[in-house]
Structures are given as structure tokens and as C-alpha cells.
Amino acid sequence: MKPKIIHLVLTAAIFSGCGNKTVTGPQGPKGDPGPNTIQLSLQNGVFPSASYAGEIDTWLSATSASAPQNATSYRRVSVGSTIAGYDRVLVKFDVNAIPVNATIETARLLVTTESSTSLGSSSVTLGLHDMNPALYTGGCIWNINATWSSYNNATGWNNCTDDSSVSQTSLYQTPALSTAVFNSTFTGTSKVVEYSIPATVVQGWVSGTNNGLILVSEGEFQNVPSANVDFYPYNDSTATNRPELIVTYE
């Protein structure tokens, strides 16, 4: 064993006399990279490119319960003293541009009111609600031809919700995801209104079924004064007036 000990000592002496050279060991593993947050805007004809056309919207009129309203130049939420005066707005975005393994951080919806909006002296609160398909026993994924009484101008909502009442309150989840207050200053004007959307809602669209959102008056059944709030639709001639979804994700 003695020759081996002498050899180790000599080797150490050789390395210790190597001048300014430094002996280093192998590098350790690199740490994980920092978060890479991406912001994605979705708006027909604008974001993420001029070719995006994945957003659709329409409105449901209790006055004309079996008639599609998608051909009108506005999307209307109305309130009144009876159910016949109520209207609601549906909106849905194709979110296939978001990777299926993405983690949604934030989401918000921007809608723009039209000058045909008419409000009295009392304010109206409009809530944004989730049209979660988990509510339904048979799917009922609505399309552009949806009406107050049917989700595709053929099959009644009641086939999925088991709700045959004229009020159709089983179409959406409560409470509202977020709300906005509209008052007389909106009458005859065009204003951008922002709604926040919980990240979990958009996460569900990315990983599962997307049935969009619905705007309703939070005072529908409280006999509030007659009023209507009108929004620009998905195909308005001015692209920047159209609804916009802004999502951040990692």
C-alpha cells in the first residue's frame, strides 16, 4: 500500500504547482426557467390576426321566443316589468389558439355599447354568467341560431335543463362571474365595458367543452324600469367594435 500513498502525494504536488490554472468540478443541474407569461387577444378580424373569425354572438328575445335574432346589427340585453320584456346576449370564442397544456392566469371580456342603448334615470346591473354545459343533461351547445326557447332554433333548452318555465333561468350558472353597472350616461353613446372572467372558466374551455357566456340583467325579475343595453356584434363593420377576449397564460 505504501507505493500508492507516495503516488497520491506526488500527484497532489503536481496540481498544486500549476500556476494560475484552476481545476473545477462538473457543473450542477440548471434550475427551472422563470415563468413565461403570454397574453393572447381574440377579436374577429383583428387578433391574433385578421383571419381570426372564431367569435360568435347573438341575443335571445323573450318577446320573440322562437325567432333567431342574429341578423340584427346589435346584441341587446333588456329589462322590464314582465318576462316578455327581457333579452339576453350570448357570446362564445374559439380558444384553440391556446395550447391544451397551458395554465390560464387571467381572462377578461371587452364589449362595446351601441348608441341605440337607452336607459332611464335608474341604473341597471348586467351580469356575465357561465353557460357551463355541466348544467345540462343532454349537452345543448348553442349556436348562432339560438333563441329564447331553443339552443339551435330546433331543440328546446328544456330538453337539456328540464326547465320548462318561460323564464329559462336554468340556462346559466349563478352567481354572476362579474358585473357592470350601466346608467343614463350610456344612453346614445358608445363605450367599452370590461368584465373579468375567472381563469378556471377559460381553463375549462381549453381542456373540455366550450359553451360560452351569457349577459343578463341581474334585476330581470325585480320589475326594474324598462331599459335596453345594446352591444356591437361579432360581424360589425368596424372590427375594433367587436367583442374581445384577452387571456394571459403560461
Residue 242 pairs with which residues in a beta bridge? none
Q: Is the dihedral of CA 156, 157, 163, 165 positive or negative?
A: negative
Instruction: Write down the pLDDT at residue 17.
Output: 43
Q: ∠ CA(163), CA(167), CA(161), 5° rounding?
A: 20
The SS3 call for residue 135 is helix
Tell whether the model's pLDDT for residue 13 goes beyond 90: no
Tell whether the model's pLDDT for residue 226 goes beyond 50: yes
Instruction: Write down the pLDDT at residue 14.
Output: 35
Instruction: Write down the pLDDT at residue 21.
Output: 44
Q: How many angstroms separate the CA atoms of 59 and 69, rounded?
A: 6
- Average pLDDT value for residue range 208-225: 86
CA 143 to chain CA centroid, Å, is 16
Closest CA to 211 of 202, 219, 223: 202
pTM: 0.84
Host H or E run for residue 166: none
Structural domain boundaries, residue 239: 36-249
- In sequence order, the 6+-apart residues with CB closer than 8 A to the CB of 49 are none
Instruction: Determine contact, residues 110/191, Cβ cutoff 8 Å.
Output: no
Q: How many other CB atoms sit within 10 Å of the CB of residue 109?
A: 20
Q: With respect to residue 54, please indicate whether it lies within any of the assigned structural domains.
A: yes
Instruction: Write down the pLDDT at residue 2.
Output: 43
Region label for 96, one of left (φ > 0), alpha (ψ between -120 and 50) or beta (otherwise):
alpha
Tell whether the model's pLDDT for residue 86 goes beyond 60: yes
Q: With respect to residue 5, please indicate whether it lies within any of the assigned structural domains.
A: no
Q: With respect to residue 7, please indicate whether it lies within any of the assigned structural domains.
A: no
- Average pLDDT value for residue range 54-62: 97
Instruction: Write down the pLDDT at residue 87.
Output: 95
Q: With respect to residue 10, please indicate whether it lies within any of the assigned structural domains.
A: no
B/e letters for 203-228, b = 16+ CB within 10 Å, e = fewer, are: bbbbeeebbbbbbbbbbbeeebeebb
Q: With respect to residue 23, please indicate whether it lies within any of the assigned structural domains.
A: no
Q: How many angstroms separate the CA atoms of 30 and 3, rounded?
A: 41
Can you tell me which residue has the cell 381574440?
A: 42
Q: With respect to residue 3, please indicate whether it lies within any of the assigned structural domains.
A: no
Q: With respect to residue 80, please indicate whether it lies within any of the assigned structural domains.
A: yes
Tell whether the model's pLDDT for residue 40 goes beyond 50: yes
Q: How many other CB atoms sit within 10 Å of the CB of residue 183?
A: 13
Tell whether the model's pLDDT for residue 234 goes beyond 70: yes
Number of domains in the chain: 1
Q: With respect to residue 208, please indicate whether it lies within any of the assigned structural domains.
A: yes
